[in-house]
Amino acid sequence: MMRAVQEQETGPEAKQQERPAPPTEQESITEHTVQIGGRAVAYRAEARTTVLRNEAGGARAAMFTVAYTRTDAGSGEERPLTFAFNGGPGSSSAWLHLGLLGPRRVDVPDGPTAAPYRLRDNDASLLDVSDLVLIDPVSTGYSRAAAGEDAAQFHAFRQDVESVAELVRLHTTRAGRWRSPKLLVGESYGTVRAAALARHLQERHGMEVSGVGLISAVLLYQTARPALGNDLPYLLALPTYAATAWYHRALDRQVESLAGLLDEARELALGDYASVLLRGPRAGADARRSVLQRLVSVTGLSPAFLEACDLRVTPPRFFKELLRSRRRTVGRLDTRFTGIDADAAGEVAEYDPSYAVIQGPFTAAVNAYLRTELGFETDALYEVLNADRVRPWSFGEDGDNRFLDVASALRQTMSRSPGLRVLLASGVYDLATPFAAAEWSLEHMGLDESLAGNVRMERYEAGHMMYIHAPSRDRLAQDLRSLVAGA
């Protein structure tokens, strides 16, 4: 008898019981009111996980979203619906959610601050003009691969786009929003996702997108990854180097305006500087000497340092070198911020001071907000930024691709949907995604002249997360409102 019991306990039924339980869809729905533009806006917040399934119905992952729907503005089908996400890869949507788009935002001053970190009504939120869905891709936020599923299957360009597209399709279907105007807003690698997602939704699901907001964009990785024979990143970082040197008063000259300096640096980068790098030894000593002197003039870097770099300065070296004499480094996400390293003689900064400013406030705020105000209770870790755990990330369509190009995907989508409008929003102090590189990518994507008016490019006097700078946040909010309105 005992033997029979033991056989039963180790048989197929026992093995079935040992298998991890599939994920369930969890949700919390709450009602709120927020002041936007001096008016009360009533809305419903839905924090939930949505299970993605394979063709056989098996669970692949549970993706976390927060959806905001205005409840005092008539039919939902008539209202625009904006899907938004950050980048990384490996970043949750906490930054756009609580920094710019959502009805509540982190009360972060434009500089270092200490706990407690507070939330306040966000008068820059888009909720008065568009319903919102903030998406955390798999392995970020509360989004996870299902038990028994390898999370790495989502850690690649194509697979990431497909999983986010499926989330968009499911939300649109369940909410009855197929006829609503739809927009995508992405930040950083999220702009890669947005550009590719617009094409995928169009081709795979027949879902048209009316607007794409690209915040701190990288669309052509050739502009971001220096390599032998690829000098574009050195050239296109130059205007940001100039802006940073101007901000920190590191130039040995008087500059009439920042805008004028940026124009000067851009013309140098795409003119004589590009010619000298392209021609190499053929450029001649006089041309090289002239460019060297002009680089000193716009960057504040020494001739000796520029010569030692062969006129090719990478951002990590710039972070460390610009203020070395002051024993300070400058930030990557926002070069207005400075840091202090133990070793002033090193080549690489110990940390990014601009990320250090925002990490604590946003992490504390999103964890408190989701549980206390939105009522989504879980003991899972909210992965605000999970970049290391999604590596290696495949950037190619069908494998690894050193120079990923999504500008072409965006051009194709715009050509097929002539009403699609694009906003490029760039911070002049951003060295994670330099503004000149993003602008160059759009200018060279081969868009037909008849559609050129559908692209709007704006610069803000802040960094990668330009919305932590109040004047830039207000401007960006208005620019996004114009995108929603199709203006």
Q: What share of the chain is helix, strand, coil (3-state, %, to 5)?
A: 45, 20, 35
Domain residue limits, the chain: 20-222+359-485, 229-351
pLDDT in tens, 345-357: 988 999 999 999 9
pLDDT in tens, 56-110: 999 999 999 999 999 998 777 889 999 999 999 999 999 999 999 999 999 876 6
Query: What is the CATH number assigned to the segment(s) 20-222+359-485?
Result: 3.40.50.1820
CA distances from 169 to 81, 89, 163, 464 (A): 12, 22, 10, 29
- How many other CB atoms are there within 10 angstroms of residue 307's CB atom? 11
Q: What is the average per-residue pLDDT within 332-359?
A: 94
pLDDT in tens, 103-113: 999 987 665 56
Q: By the 8 A CB rule, do 437 and 254 touch?
A: no
Residue 73: per-residue pLDDT: 83
Q: What is the average per-residue pLDDT within 266-291?
A: 96
Half-sphere exposure of 308 (CA within 13 A, CB side): 9
What one-character DSSP code corresponds to residue 309?
T
Instruction: List the end-to-end C-alpha distance of the chain, in Å, as a whole number.
Output: 79
Tokens linked to 77: 């089908």
Residue 388: per-residue pLDDT: 85
Residue 5: per-residue pLDDT: 33
What is 371-419 written as a DSSP string? IIIS-----S--BSB-GGGG-S-B-SSSS--TT-B-HHHHHHHHHH-TT
pLDDT in tens, 302-322: 999 999 999 999 999 999 999
Closest CA to 244 of 320, 309, 189: 320
The torsion angle over the Cα atoms of residues 225, 231, 235 and 237, rounded to 10 degrees, is 20
